[in-house]
Amino acid sequence: MWKLTQRLQPHINPTRWMVRNFRSGVAGEATGLYGFDHLKTPKGFQRFVADAIERSGELVSYISGMPSSPEIIKAMDEISDTVCCVVDSAELCRQTHPDREFVEAAHKAAMEMNDYLHHLNTNHTLYAAVKKAEQDSNLLTAEAGRTAHHLRMDFERGGIHLDPEKLDKVNNLTTNIFQLCSEFSENIADDPGHVDVFPASRIPRHLHHLLNPIYRSTSQVLRGSKRSAHSSKEKGVRITTDSRTLASVLQWTSDEEVRKMVYIQGNSVPHANHGVLEKLIASRHELAQMMGCNSFADFMVEPNLAKSPKVVTSFLQELSKTVKPKADEEYIAIRDFKREKCGDNSAALEPWDETHYTSMMKSSVNDVDTAVVASYFPLPQCIEGLKVLVESLFGATFHTVPLAPGESWHPDVIKMSLHHPDEGDLGYLYLDLYSRKGKYPGCASFAIKGGRKISETEYQLPVLALVCNFSRARDSSVVKLNHSEVEVLFHEFGHALHSLLSRTEYQHFSGTRVALDLAEMPSNLFEYYAWDYRLLKRFARHYSTGETMPEKLVNSLQGARNMFAATELQRQVFYALVDQMLFGEQPETARDVSQLVAELKREHTSWNHVEGTHWHIRFSHLLNYGAGYYSYLYAKCFASTIWQSICEEDPLSLSTGTLLREKFFKHGGAKDPAELLKDLAGKEIISVHEELRLNENAFLLVWLGLGIVILVEGIVLASSGFLPEELDKLFVKYVYPVFTPSVGLFVAGTTAYGVLKYIQNEKLKDQK
C-alpha cells in the first residue's frame, strides 16, 4: 500500500496525535529532533514507533466500520501520514545525525515500522474499504478518487490478492529488500577506501584540507658507513576515496600515477556490496515474478510515464547510437590534448584522465579558472540567490527562523521559512550543507512532513531537509562553491520547492510523490537558473571585494559546459542501461554482474573499462531508482522543453512563477503526470507518440469489431443450409449481400493500415 521500500520520502499528518507530538520550533521552548517532542533522546524513537502504531490501530478500527467513502480516504491518508512520519524522520536521522546512538535507534525504528507496514499492506479490511471508496468515486473529489485508485493499486502491488502462502513470501522478500538496501548504503559509508601517497607534495596544496596527513619514518645513511646517521619523518597524505574527494583529486592532480591509484581504489570498494547487490537483484526479481511480472523492471516501470521497459530500453539504445559519433570525437580531442601536454604522441587515454584533462581543456579554451569562478560563489551568497529566485518567481520570501532547543541535529543546521505575504508560511526547510564524517555522502532532499488539508481553514505545512556536502577550506573561513556545486544546490532546491509549493488535499500526493520519471523534472528545470546571468548577476558576488560576477565569465562557463556534452550524455545513458539490465529479465544461469557492466561500458561509451574496477557497487541510485534511473534523462527532456517554452524569455517574472506554481507545483501527484505536463507546456511535450498510439488503438478496436461482424456473418451463412427454409431465405436476402463488401473493406483497410504504418515509421525515423 505505501511504497516505502522503493522511495523513503517523508510525509506527515495533522491528527490529534500528530499535533500533540510535533511543534514548528518555537525559539526557547525545548523540543526534539525536527520538532517532534518524542525525539529528545535516542530512546524517544521507541515511543515514536509505539504511538504511531497505536494511532494507526485506532484508524484501522474506525475504517473497519465502513464509514462514508470520503471518510475512508481521509482516514487511510492519516494512517499513511502517521507511519511515514516515523519512517522518514528515522531515515533523515540515520543518514545525517553525528550521534551513533541516535543513528542506531533510528535504524531500529525504521525496521520496526517497515514490519508494521507489511501488516497494514495485508489487511483485507482496509483493502475492501479502499475498493468500496473507489467504486463510490462519484461521491469523492477528483483528488480523493485518484487517491482511492492509487491506494487500491498499491495494495495489489503489495500482493494482497495472492494466497496467504505467497503473500507471506512477498512480505519476507520486501523486508529482505529493505535490509539489503540499508546494508548497501552502510557499506558505502563505512568503507569508502583510501590511498596513501608520499610525499604530500604530489597532491596540490589546495586539496590538503580534504585529506588526512600521515607520516612514515625514513633514514639517511652517512656516505661510506652502513649505519644510519639519523632518522626523520616524511609527510604524506591519506586520500579517502569517497566520491567527492575522488572527483577533486582526479580533477586537480597532475601526477598520473596518483590519479590511477585513487581511480582504481575508489571504483573497487566496498567489496561487500558485490554479494549484497547480487542478493538484491535476485530478491527483486523473485518479488516481481510473484507479482506476475517478467522482471523487476516491468514491475517498476509500468506505473510510470514510460509504461514498459521495452520503451525505456529502446529510448536508451537509440540515444546511445545518436550520441556515439559526437562522443567519439570528444574522446579523440581529449586524447590528443593529453598527448600534447605530456609530449607523448602514443600516450593512451585512460578513465582516470578524463576529469583532469577535460577540466584543463575547458579552462584553456574558454579562459575559465575554477578558483576564480568559485570566488564569486561564497555559500551565503548562494543562499541569497535562492531567496532572490523565490521572491521573483512566487512573490515569497525565504528567511531564517530560530531553531528550538533540541530541534537541530548539528550546529551547522539552519532552518528557513518560505513565506508569502498573502498566504502566510508555505513550509519549512532545514539546510544541512557542510560535509562531515559519517554523514550521507551525496546531496539530497529529505521530506519530514508532507502537505495535507486538515480542514477548510487549516493546512498542514510541508517540512523537509536539504542535505549537501560542501567542504570548508582549512585556510579560509569562507565556504566557496565551484559552479557544479552551485548547480547541485539549485537542483536539490527544485525538489524542495516541489514539496514546499505543493497544496494537495492528501499527503499521499504531496510534493515529489509523483510518477518516478516526472519527479526529476523540477530539479532539472531549476538547474537552468544556475546558468542564467539574469539571476547570477543578482547574487554572485566576490567573497572579498563584493564585485558582481562578470557576464563574460558566465559566458565562458557556458562554453565550457557545452564542450563535452555528448560524453556526459553518453555516461548517463550507460548508467541507465546498467540499471535496466541488472533489474531486467534474468538469464536461466547465473551471470557475472561485473562482466555485464564492463560489456555495457565498452558497447555504450567511448572509454575503456579498467579491469578490476567495479563502479556499480557504490552506485546508490540502484537502491532508490531500481530500474528507474532512466527517469533522469526523461526529466531532462521535459525540463528542456519547459525552460524553452515558458521560462527562457523571462525567467524571473512573477507571471512565469505563477504559471509554474498553478499548472504544476501545487498539484504534486494529484493529477495525471501526462496531463500536468500538457497543461503546463502543451501536448507536444509528450511527443507525437501518445497521439499516434491512441489513434492506432481506436483504429484497431474498430477493425476488431468489423472482424467479429465478418466472423458472425460467415458462421450464419455457413449454417443457413441446416435451417428452416424461411430463415435460410431471410439470411440469403439480408446477410449475404453485405458479406462480400465487408470482407473487401476489411482487406482494403488492413492494406491501408500497413501502408500508413510504414509511412509513420519513416516519419518517426526522420524525427529522431
| Number of other CB atoms surrounding residue 481 within 10 Å | 22
Q: CA dist 566 to 323, 360, 554, Å?
A: 6, 18, 21
Q: Determine contact, residues 669/513, Cβ cutoff 8 Å.
A: yes
Q: Is 492 a catalytic residue?
A: yes
Spatial CB neighbours of 498, under 8 Å, sequence gap ≥ 6: 511, 512, 519, 522, 523, 665, 668
Helices and strands: H and E segment counts in the chain: 29, 10
- Among candidates 369, 381, 363, 370, which has minimal Cα distance to 479? 381
As to burial, measured by CB atoms within 10 angstroms (0-12 exposed, 13-18 middle, 19+ buried), residue 213 is exposed
Beta strands 463-470; 424-434: pairing state: parallel
Dist CA 150 CA 144 (whole Å): 10
Spatial CB neighbours of 391, under 8 Å, sequence gap ≥ 6: 397, 398
Show the cell assigned to 400: 531564517
CA atoms within 13 A of residue 192's CA, in its CB half-sphere = 19
Q: Determine contact, residues 145/672, Cβ cutoff 8 Å.
A: no
- Among candidates 183, 178, 213, 182, which has minimal Cα distance to 198? 213
Spatial CB neighbours of 649, under 8 Å, sequence gap ≥ 6: none
Dist CA 466 CA 454 (whole Å): 25
Q: Which of 134, 354, 492, 505 is catalytic?
A: 492
Dist CA 81 CA 582 (whole Å): 33
Dist CA 282 CA 277 (whole Å): 9
Q: How many residues does the chain have?
A: 768
Q: CA dist 147 to 440, 604, 638, Å?
A: 32, 40, 25
Query: Which are the catalytic amino acids?
Result: 492
